[in-house]
Structure 1
């Protein structure tokens, strides 16, 4: 849903939707998830991961079914995934359950993409480029479109983190399968980062009406 500002010609969006609220709830759950892993409470950590997965599917379904999509949603949803991924990467590495080199690759890619997003927001924001307008996400200026390899990489990363988090609760020896999985995720992470650099469809600038 869009509305028009009274003093500018910017198209404004209704950002207070249920899908966005569910996405924000996943972001707010990340500190608790990180704490549970550091404390070795993998039952709680697994429960929070299950909530993250279910809420991610539910907010996507509601957004499509009831036409509650928004440009902010295209920013919040991957941001929630990255917040979850960052939390899992750091805490699992701190617990010695994830190799440090892999953690550096995952976090380094995300930092570079985040810096690029700040630049794209500034570049695409219609004038006047004020600080208040920059942080007003009701004024859409650019839409991030994940590449296919990025979607695959995100799914593989989350699956790896979920398997690693659940592994202490299993009675099976999964060390070797996890090591193979880690090499695969390292490769897709590098590939997806290069994909954003060379893809022309990763960012769509929204024309000002």
Structure 2
């Protein structure tokens, strides 16, 4: 168990706490915990790559923690009416498609190693930024108006682009 892996496990434990804070309209605490989770993601990645602490366990844990955080937060924010349901469906559908493709490739004895594309890193950053924006606007009582609409559009566009990139990669792999 490396330090980055411990940080990642800590991020997993933050997920239910953020959800409870959102459900109880404790926007300030939810925002702070979400920001801490985001910073922890950057720190564990930095330590793993730059300090030679990368591990196979971390390669699996980190994306699981990221997906647990993003999917849980988006579903919860939609449940309390903060983000549109259509956007949550798109975000969750992308992640389900990726997981299903990996499982199907294993079942067909054609395992695929999915590494993040640049568009997917941009997508993840946009999804995290939008969630932070939604939480922060509630925490500080700021009305976002057209900024929220523009941010939703960017998240949707990047999510669709990332979905298409992964699907094209997977189809080429399975056909090859």
Q: Specify every segment of 5 or more residues in structure 2 that has no aligned partner in the other structure, as ranges.
A: none
Go from structure 1 to structure 2 and tell me whether the alpha carbon gap of 1:117 and 1:27 turns closer, same or farther (over 3 Å shift): farther
Partner of 1:117: 102
Q: Specify every segment of 5 or more residues in structure 1 that has no aligned partner in the other structure, as ranges.
A: 1-15, 126-141, 204-209
1:56 matched to 2:41: yes
What pairs with 1:3-22 in structure 2 (closer than 5 Å)? 16-22=1-7
More strand by share: 1
Measure, in 2, the Cα distance between the counterparts of 1:162 and 1:78.
Answer: 19
What is the aligned length?
A: 171
When the two structures are superposed, what TM-score results if normalisation uses the length of structure 2?
0.88
Backbone CA RMSD of aligned residues? 2.0
Measure, in 2, the Cα distance between the counterparts of 1:121 and 1:30.
Answer: 29
Q: Alpha-carbon deviations, 1:122-178, whole Å to 9, x = none?
A: 5367xxxxxxxxxxxxxxxx6431011000000000000110011112343212210
Q: Which has the larger radius of gyration?
A: 1
Q: Alpha-carbon deviations, 1:10-30, whole Å to 9, x = none?
A: xxxxxx211112112111211
More helix by share: 2
Could you list the runs of 4 or more consecutive aligned residues of structure 1 that deviate by over 3 angstroms after TM superposition?
119-125
Partner of 2:121: 151
